[in-house]
C-alpha cells in the first residue's frame, strides 16, 4: 500500500514513528462483516495526534461513496471504516488515507501499543535531557550573574562552556517542537510550536553570536529552562491519553487466548482464539473461559457470567443455551458451537465500546488547540512589529528632529526574541497540571488514586452519581445471614466443600474448617447430593433439595439442606452493603447530586440494596450495552453523570460517563477505564475526591487568570525594550513558579 507521510497541521507532537507498509492487495483478507452486513476494515493510523486529525480523516473517508461510518480513536490509533457491500474496496480506503497524508496498515494492537510507547519514551528522554542541560548550565551562568569583578575573558570562557552544554542538549530536547512546527509549515499552516521553535533557534543563534564577539549577555540558560517546562506539559498530555489504550487492552486480556477445537473425526486440537471459525465445535473444561460467543451443544453446567452481567450467582447452562465470550464454566465440561469469531465476541465489543466512549471525550479540542488560532498570529505579529519598530522607530524620530541613536539590528532582534520568550504559554501550560499533581497527591494520602489529570476537572463538573450494585455499593460477596443450628451447618458444609458455587463457598466460610462428604456429586444448575451417616442428603435449590417446601417470595439468595426424613433447612444469604454506603449516598445528596443505581442483578436484590443505601431511582437486569447507552442518553440531556462500578460489565459505561470511579478490588479493565480508584472498602473516598476536585477547579481558574494577566502586562514591557531575553526567560519561569506555589496551597484542607 502506498503511504503518505504528511501529518495534519495543528498536531502538537509530530512524533508518530513510521509504520510497516501493508500492500493494498493484502487488505482484502482483513475485511470482516458487522451485524448489519456492512464491510468493515480496521487500520492503524500513524501521524494522527489531535482533534484536527480526527476531523480530517473521518470527514475525508465519509466523503467516499458507500462509506457509512468512519471512526478514529486517537488514543489507540485504531481507524474503523464501514461501507455497504460492493460499494468500494479496501484499496480505496487506503488510497484516500494516502491522499490525506497519513500512513496506515492493518490494525495490530501489539504494534500500536509499541508505537505509542515509543512516543512516550521519546518525550521522556527529551524532558530528561532538557532538565540535565538546565541544571548544568546554571553551574556556568551563576558566576556570570553575580561576578561583578569578572574579567571579559573569564566571562567569555564560561559562555563557551554554557554553549557546549546548551546547544546539543537544547537541539535534542526541542525535537518534538521542531518536528511539529516543520510538518505544520510544510502543510502551509502554523501551530503553537512554530513560535516556540523560532524562539529557540533565534536565541541559540544570537547567544552564540554574542559569545563569539565577547558580549556580556547570552541566554543559553533561559532557553533550556524554557524547553524543560514546556516538555513537562507535553509529557503530561501524553500520559493523559494513555488511559483509553490501557482500558481496552485490559479487557481484551481477559479473553481466552486459546481454544480446543473438535474436528469432524472427533480429534481435539489446540488452536489460537484468533483462528476460531464460525461453526467450529469447541470443548470447554470446568474452570475454562469461553473464547468466543456461541451455543452449548452438549453438557450441563453452571456459568459464571459476572464479568459480563454483574450477576453475583452462577447461571445454569445446558444444550441450546447461549454462552458469551468471557463466561467461565464452573461445574462440568461443555461442548459449544462458535457463532462468532473472537474479534467479534462480547469481550471485544466491550473493548470497542470503551474506545468509542473515550473517542467522544477526545473530540473536545484542548485549550491549547483552541488558543492556537489566536496565539500564533498574535505572537508572531507582536514579535515582528517589535523588530520593525526598533528598526524604523529611531529613523522616524531622527526625521522628526530628535537626537536619538540610529537603529541597531542586535537590539531589535533581542527585543523581538524577548517577546517570543515571555509570551510562551509555559505558565498557561502548567496552570492546570500543577494543580492536578498536588490534588492527586492529597487524594493519594486519602486512599484515592487518580488515574488521569483531567479527571479532577470532570469530577468538579459532575452533577449526578450512578452506582453499580454488586461489588460497588455492596461487598460483592454472599454472606450467610440466617442462623441455623451448628450441627446442621456442619453437615451442610460437608456437601458444600466439593463445590465452587459462590453460595457453597459462603456456607463453608460460615461453618469453618471441616471435612468434605466422600462420594458427593454436584448436579450442575441444581445442587449437591451425597450420603451422610448412612442417610441421603441434598444441598441446593428448593426444587432439588426440598421440593415439598413452598418457594420463598423474598427474593433472597438461598440454599436448602435436607437429610433423610429430617425437616429441610433453609440457608439465607445476602450481599451486604459497604459499611459507609448509606453515609456516602447521603453526603452526595447533601452536595446536590442526584443518585441512581444500575445493576445487572435481579430486581428483588437490587431493590433491597437501593432501599438500604437510600437510593430511590434504580434499574435491574441492565446489560453492559444498556448501561453505556444510559450514560450517553444522560449526557445527551445535558447531564454530567459520574459512574461508579467495579465489574467488566461496567467498563464501557465507566468510559462513556462524564467521570468515573472504581473500588480498589475492581477488575483491572474497570480500574483502567475509571478516572479514580478508591482503595479499601469505604465509599467516602468518592466524596473526598469530589470535594478536592471542586477545590482544584477553583485553583486552576486562579492560575489561568494569572497566566492571562501575566501575558497582558509582560508582552508590552518586552516589546518596549525593558526586558532582555534573559529577564524574559526568568519572568516566564517566575510565572510558572507562581502558579505552582498557588497549586501547592491544595495540600492544605481549604
Residues labelled catalytic: 468
Residue 642 grid coordinates: 459520574
E strand spans, 274-338 = 281-284, 294-298, 301-304, 315-317, 322-323, 328-329, 334-338
User: DSSP label at 29?
Assistant: G
Give the count of beta carbons closer than 10 Å to the beta carbon of residue 57. Answer: 25
Virtual torsion, Cα 612, 618, 619, 624, nearest 10 deg:
-90
Q: How far apart are CA 158 and CA 56, in angstroms?
A: 50
CB proximity list for 81: less than 8 A, separation 6 or greater: 40, 41, 42, 43, 61, 67, 69, 70, 93
CB proximity list for 592: less than 8 A, separation 6 or greater: 463
Q: 256 with 240: CB under 8 angstroms?
A: no
Task: Tell me the C-alpha to C-alpha distance, in Å, between residue 358 and each of 247, 345, 363, 697.
Answer: 10, 20, 9, 22
Write down the number of H helices and E strands in the chain: 24, 27
Positive or negative torsion for Cα 56, 58, 64, 65: negative
DSSP 117-178: HHHHHHHHHHHHHHHHHHHHHHHHHHHHHH-TT--HHHHHHHHHHHHHHHHHHHHHHTHHHH
Residue 750 grid coordinates: 481549604
Residue 556 grid coordinates: 433472597
E strand spans, 481-579 = 521-523, 527-532, 535-540, 558-563, 569-574
Q: 491 with 459: CB under 8 angstroms?
A: no
Phi and psi based region of residue 512 (left: phi greater than 0; alpha: psi -120 to 50; beta: remaining): left
Give the count of beta carbons closer than 10 Å to the beta carbon of residue 486. Answer: 10
User: Which residues are 91's β-sheet partners?
Assistant: none
Q: How far apart are CA 648 and CA 253, in angstroms?
A: 12
Q: How far apart are CA 38 and CA 729, in angstroms?
A: 57
Amino acid at each position: 500500500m502506498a503511504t503518505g507521510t504528511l501529518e495534519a497541521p495543528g498536531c502538537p507532537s509530530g512524533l508518530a514513528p513510521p509504520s510497516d507498509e501493508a500492500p493494498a492487495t493484502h487488505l482484502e483478507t482483513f475485511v470482516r462483516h458487522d451485524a448489519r452486513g456492512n464491510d468493515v476494515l480496521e487500520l492503524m493510523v500513524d501521524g494522527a495526534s489531535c482533534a484536527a486529525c480526527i476531523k480530517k480523516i473521518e470527514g475525508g473517508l465519509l466523503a467516499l461513496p458507500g462509506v457509512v461510518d468512519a471512526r478514529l480513536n486517537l488514543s489507540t490509533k485504531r481507524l474503523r471504516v464501514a461501507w455497504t457491500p460492493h460499494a468500494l474496496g479496501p484499496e480505496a480506503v487506503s488510497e484516500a488515507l494516502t491522499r490525506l497524508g497519513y500512513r496506515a496498515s492493518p490494525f495490530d494492537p501489539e504494534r500500536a501499543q509499541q508505537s505509542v510507547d515509543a512516543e512516550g519514551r521519546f518525550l521522556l528522554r527529551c524532558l530528561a535531557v532538557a532538565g540535565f542541560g538546565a541544571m548544568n548550565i546554571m553551574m556556568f551562568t551563576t558566576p556570570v550573574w553575580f561576578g561583578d569583578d569578572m574579567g571579559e575573558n573569564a566571562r567569555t570562557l564560561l559562555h563557551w562552556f554554557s554553549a557546549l552544554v546548551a546547544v546539543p542538549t537544547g537541539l535534542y530536547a526541542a525535537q518534538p517542537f521542531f518536528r511539529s512546527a516543520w510538518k505544520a509549515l510544510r502543510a502551509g499552516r502554523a501551530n503553537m510550536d512554530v513560535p516556540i521553535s523560532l524562539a529557540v533557534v533565534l536565541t541559540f543563534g544570537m547567544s552564540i553570536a554574542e559569545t563569539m564577539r565577547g558580549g556580556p549577555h547570552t541566554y543559553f540558560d533561559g532557553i533550556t529552562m524554557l524547553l524543560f517546562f514546556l516538555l513537562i506539559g507535553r509529557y503530561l498530555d501524553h500520559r493523559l491519553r494513555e488511559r483509553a489504550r490501557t482500558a481496552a487492552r485490559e479487557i481484551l486480556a481477559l479473553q481466552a487466548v486459546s481454544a480446543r477445537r473438535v474436528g469432524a473425526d472427533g480429534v481435539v486440537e489446540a488452536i489460537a482464539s484468533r483462528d476460531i471459525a464460525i461453526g467450529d465445535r469447541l470443548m470447554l473444561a470446568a474452570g475454562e473461559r469461553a473464547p468466543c460467543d456461541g451455543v452449548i451443544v452438549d453438557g450441563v453446567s453452571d456459568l459464571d457470567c459476572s464479568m459480563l452481567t454483574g450477576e453475583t450467582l452462577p447461571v445454569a447452562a445446558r444444550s441450546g443455551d447461549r454462552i458469551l465470550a468471557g463466561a467461565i464454566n464452573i461445574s462440568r465440561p461443555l461442548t459449544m458451537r462458535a457463532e462468532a469469531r473472537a474479534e467479534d465476541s462480547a469481550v471485544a465489543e466491550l473493548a470497542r465500546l470503551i474506545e468509542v466512549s473515550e473517542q467522544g471525550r477526545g473530540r473536545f479540542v484542548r485549550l491549547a488547540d483552541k488558543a492556537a488560532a489566536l496565539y500564533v498570529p498574535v505572537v508572531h505579529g507582536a514579535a515582528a512589529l517589535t523588530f520593525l519598530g526598533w528598526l524604523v522607530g529611531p529613523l522616524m524620530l531622527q526625521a522628526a528632529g530628535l537626537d536619538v541613536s540610529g537603529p541597531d539590528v542586535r537590539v531589535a532582534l533581542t527585543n523581538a526574541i524577548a517577546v517570543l520568550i515571555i509570551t510562551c504559554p509555559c505558565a498557561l501550560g502548567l496552570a492546570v497540571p500543577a494543580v492536578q499533581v498536588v490534588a492527586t497527591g492529597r487524594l493519594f494520602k486519602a486512599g484515592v488514586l487518580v488515574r488521569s489529570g483531567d479527571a479532577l476537572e470532570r469530577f468538579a463538573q459532575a452533577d449526578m452519581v450512578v452506582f453499580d450494585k454488586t461489588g460497588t455499593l455492596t461487598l460483592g460477596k454472599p454472606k450467610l445471614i440466617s442462623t441455623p443450628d451448628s450441627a446442621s451447618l456442619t453437615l451442610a458444609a460437608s456437601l458444600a466443600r466439593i463445590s465452587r458455587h459462590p453460595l457453597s463457598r459462603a456456607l463453608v466460610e460460615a461453618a469453618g474448617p471441616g471435612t468434605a462428604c466422600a462420594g458427593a456429586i454436584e448436579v450442575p444448575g441444581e445442587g449437591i447430593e451425597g450420603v451422610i451417616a448412612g442417610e441421603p442428603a441434598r444441598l441446593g435449590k428448593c426444587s432439588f433439595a426440598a421440593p415439598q417446601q413452598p418457594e420463598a417470595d423474598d427474593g433472597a439468595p438461598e440454599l436448602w439442606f435436607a437429610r433423610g426424613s429430617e425437616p429441610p433447612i433453609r440457608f439465607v444469604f445476602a450481599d451486604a452493603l459497604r459499611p459507609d454506603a448509606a453515609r456516602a449516598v447521603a453526603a452526595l445528596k447533601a452536595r446536590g447530586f442526584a443518585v441512581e443505581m444500575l445493576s445487572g442483578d435481579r430486581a428483588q436484590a437490587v431493590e433491597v440494596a437501593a432501599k438500604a443505601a437510600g437510593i430511590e431511582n434504580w434499574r435491574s437486569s441492565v446489560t453492559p450495552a444498556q448501561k453505556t447507552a444510559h450514560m450517553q442518553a444522560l449526557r445527551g440531556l445535558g447531564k454530567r453523570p459520574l459512574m461508579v462500578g467495579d465489574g467488566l460489565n461496567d467498563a464501557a459505561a465507566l468510559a462513556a460517563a462524564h467521570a468515573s470511579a472504581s473500588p480498589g478490588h475492581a477488575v483491572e479493565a474497570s480500574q483502567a477505564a475509571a478516572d479514580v480508584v478508591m482503595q479499601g472498602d469505604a465509599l467516602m473516598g468518592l466524596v473526598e475526591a469530589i470535594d478536592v476536585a471542586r477545590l482544584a477547579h477553583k485553583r486552576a481558574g486562579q492560575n489561568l487568570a494569572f497566566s492571562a494577566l501575566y501575558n497582558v502586562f509582560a508582552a508590552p514591557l518586552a516589546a518596549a525594550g525593558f526586558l532582555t531575553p534573559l529577564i524574559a526567560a526568568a519572568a516566564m519561569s517566575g510565572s510558572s513558579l507562581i502558579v505552582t506555589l498557588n497549586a501547592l496551597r491544595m495540600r492544605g484542607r481549604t
